[in-house]
């Protein structure tokens, strides 16, 4: 696995020498463009949400033969949170769009199940996702909408026969494996219907309240104990969610309607090096037996990214890995997300971000591993700090560190660079990193090439040697892409 990178500061900090001229003091007048009024809901947006969910899980016997007997019926409930993004287009009062979201779930419950062996089951939808169309009616700053589409849920089920009461330990020729934990993991598709209201309370910012109903039908779920134990169970499920959300609207494609008249006004100065208010970044990382990808954004809500002030950080990551255990390889998949806020200190030759907030992470294993604590969904508090310094125009020093209480996950990296390109500000040099969680620890030594620019797009690459406490030694490589607007 691999954690976040230093992309934000690499993209938002640049060394620009200021120049002045006598002509700059003279006013320049140009013909004014007509005043425009943009359709406020048109454009891309991204944000975060939290809420509360509840649902029904019904277990129907289908092993060794499907007899339709009810083995358990339980309600699950709990808190959840996640990220969302989408695109809207406004036609006068009508707003149409598409939205995708991903939610880490704390919805769970434990309950009695199966009429022998005093068995206890648990059910937990560890994450929920959806891609849905939206149809809304705009009334001033408010948007009333409905949405519907496809949904997915990843569930984790457990079953253990406690054999602690008076129930028989066998039934219909099946003997309960007393004390043996059986685990079932399944990702299943379903459908979603939702209603909500969203309100623009500030330029580029909106808040929403939404109710979602998701139905995932019924599917047979295999349960395994890590050895030869195996059985299946038909499980029916529905999930309902109420959530509050916050969105930032990028307004890339906002429709405009000319109004008013034209005149002559003083021309605004042109700044080709404007850092903008939003940095978007993505990366791909590969190392021994693992690879991952990420997307994220750093937002300056009130000023540009070159000015000290408030910052918001939205981040999502996912990947796969495998490691040896018990004479075989266990395959893992993970998804992680951050919602952080903090303050940036910006100067001519430095940039420092201090951020804190919440993190959610989900790990799913292909087989039972009782020695691995990094399984299921965990919510945690997270802190992050990074600093980008150019001691001279031709030198670079960068460092970052972050820690989340979710699985005690950490990441730290530092790199040094020198500009060998005669002023193009492309830096080359060594980098060092350390990362891990409750399952593994890894350190890296390598080299990087930072700030290769293609227009407004920046590309950074790095590679080197990695030593992992679980899978041993190997190589790693990272490609990072970012832009600002």
- pLDDT at 25 (0 to 100): 43
With helix as H, strand as E and coil as C, how does the chain read? CCCCCCHHHHHHCCCCCCCCCHHHHCCCEEECCCEEEECCCCEEEEEEEEEEEEEEEEEEECCCCCCCCEEEEEEEEEEEEEEEEEEEEEECCEEEEEEEEEEEECCEEEEECCCCCCEEEEEEEEEEEEEEEEEEEEECCEEEEEEEEEEEEEEEEEEEECCCCCCCCEECCEECCECCEEEEEEEEEEEEEEEEEEEEEECCEEEEEEEEEEEEEEEEEEEECCCCCEEEEEEEEEEEEEEEEEEEECCCCCCEEEECCCCEEECCCCCCCCCCCEEEEEEEEEECCEEEEEEEEEECCCCCCCCCEEEEEEEEEEEEEEEEECCEEEEEEEEEEEEEEEEEEECCCEEEEEEEEEEEEEEEECCCCCCCCCCEEEEEEEEEEEEEECCCCCEEEEEEEEEECHHHEEEEEEEEEEECCCCCCCEEEEEEEEEECCCCEEEEEEEEEEEEEECCEEEEEEEEEEEECCCEEEEEEEEEEEEEC
Q: How many CB atoms lie within 10 A of CB 428?
A: 16
* Model pLDDT, residue 16: 34
Q: Are residues 158 and 299 in the same domain?
A: no
Same domain, 54 and 88: yes
Residue range 272-324, pLDDT digits in tens: 456 789 999 999 999 999 999 999 999 999 889 999 999 999 999 999 999 99
Please give the residue range of the domain that contains residue 89. Answer: 40-249
What pLDDT, on the 0 to 100 scale, is given for residue 252? Answer: 54
Q: What is the pLDDT of residue 14?
A: 37
Q: Is residue 28 in a domain?
A: no
Whether residues 351 and 220 fall in one domain: no
Same domain, 316 and 398: yes
| 224 and 75 belong to one structural domain | yes
Sign of the CA dihedral with 281 first, then 465, 334, and 414 last: negative
The CATH number of residue 373's host domain is 2.40.160.40
Could you tell me if residue 258 is inside a domain? no
Give domain status of residue 18, yes or no: no
Confirm if 197 and 206 have CB atoms less than 8 A apart.
Answer: no
Which tokens in the block code for residue 142? 């408010």
Q: What is the number of other CB atoms lying within 10 angstroms of the CB of residue 396?
A: 26
Of 232, 249, 266, the last residue of a domain is 249
The answer on 294 and 191 residing in a single domain is no
Return d(Cα 279, Cα 472) in angstroms, integer: 36
Distance, CA of 295 to chain centre:
7
Answer yes or no: do 412 and 337 share one domain.
Answer: yes
Same domain membership, residue 242 and residue 169? yes
Q: Are 372 and 230 in contact (CB under 8 A)?
A: no
What integer pLDDT is reported at residue 222 of this predicted model?
93
Look at the pTM and tell me if it is higher than 0.85.
no
Residue 115 belongs to a domain with what CATH number? 2.40.160.20
Task: Let me know if residue 33 belongs to a domain.
Answer: no
Cα separation, 18 vs 242, in Å, equals 51
The Cα–Cα gap between 103 and 131 comes to 12
Low-confidence ranges of the chain (pLDDT < 70): 1-38, 252-274
pLDDT the model gives residue 330: 93
Residue 317 shares a structural domain with residue 463: yes
Residue 389 falls inside a structural domain: yes
* Together in a domain, 127 and 76: yes
pLDDT, one tens digit per residue, over 369-400 is 889 999 999 999 999 999 999 999 999 999 99
Residue 372 domain-assigned? Answer: yes
Does residue 24 form part of some domain?
Answer: no
CA distance 419 to 250: 34
The pLDDT score that the predictor gives to residue 1 is 41
Q: Give strand pairing partners of 121.
A: 111, 159
The tokens describing 443, both together, are 């350190």
Last residue of a domain, one of 249, 284, 311: 249
Same-domain check for residues 108 and 234:
yes
314 and 181 assigned to the same domain: no
Number of domains in the chain: 2
Domain assignment present for 420: yes
């Amino acid at each position: 696995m691999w954690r976040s990178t230093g992309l934000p500061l690499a993209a938002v900090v640049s060394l620009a020498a200021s120049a002045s001229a006598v002509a700059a003091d003279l006013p320049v007048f140009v013909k004014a463009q007509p005043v425009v009024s943009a359709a406020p809901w048109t454009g891309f947006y991204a944000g975060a949400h939290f809420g509360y969910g509840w649902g029904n899980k019904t277990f129907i016997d289908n092993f060794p033969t499907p007899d339709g007997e009810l083995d358990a019926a339980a309600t699950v409930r709990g808190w959840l949170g996640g990220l969302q993004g989408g695109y809207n287009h406004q036609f006068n009062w009508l707003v149409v769009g598409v939205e995708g979201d991903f939610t880490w779930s704390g919805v769970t419950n434990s309950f009695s199940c199966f009429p022998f062996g005093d068995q206890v089951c648990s059910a937990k939808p560890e994450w929920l996702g959806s891609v849905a169309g939206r149809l809304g009616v705009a009334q001033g700053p408010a948007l009333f909408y409905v949405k519907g589409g496809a949904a997915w849920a990843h569930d984790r089920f457990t079953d253990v026969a406690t054999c602690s009461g008076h129930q028989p330990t066998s039934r219909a020729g099946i003997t309960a494996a007393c004390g043996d934990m059986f685990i079932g993991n399944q990702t299943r598709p379903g459908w979603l219907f939702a209603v909500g209201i969203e309100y623009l309370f500030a330029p580029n910012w909106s808040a929403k309240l939404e109710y979602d109903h998701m139905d995932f039908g019924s599917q047979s779920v295999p349960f395994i104990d890590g050895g030869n134990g195996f059985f299946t169970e038909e499980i029916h499920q529905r999930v309902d969610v109420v959530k509050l959300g916050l969105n930032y609207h990028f307004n890339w494609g906002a429709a405009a309607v000319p109004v008013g008249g034209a005149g002559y006004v003083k021309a605004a100065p042109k700044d080709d090096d404007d850092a903008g208010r939003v940095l978007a970044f993505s990366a791909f990382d590969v190392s021994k037996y693992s690879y991952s990808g990420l997307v994220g954004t750093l937002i300056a809500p009130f000023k540009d990214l070159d000015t000290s002030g408030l910052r918001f950080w939205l981040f999502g990551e996912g990947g796969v890995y495998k490691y040896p255990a018990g004479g075989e390889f266990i395959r893992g998949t993970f998804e992680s997300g951050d919602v952080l806020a903090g303050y940036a200190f910006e100067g001519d030759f430095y940039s420092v971000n201090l951020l804190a907030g919440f993190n959610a992470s989900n790990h799913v294993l292909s087989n039972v591993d009782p020695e691995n604590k990094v399984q299921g969904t965990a919510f945690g508090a997270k802190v992050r700090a990074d600093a980008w310094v150019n001691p001279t125009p031709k030198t670079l020093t960068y460092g970052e560190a972050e820690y989340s209480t979710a699985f005690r996950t950490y990441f730290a990296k530092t790199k040094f660079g020198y500009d060998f390109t005669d002023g193009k500000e492309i830096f080359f040099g060594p980098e060092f990193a350390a990362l891990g969680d409750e399952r593994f620890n890894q350190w890296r030594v390598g080299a990087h090439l930072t700030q290769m620019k293609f227009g407004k797009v920046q590309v950074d690459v790095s590679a080197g040697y990695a030593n992992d406490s679980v899978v041993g030694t190997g190589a790693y490589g990272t490609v990072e892409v970012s832009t600002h607007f």
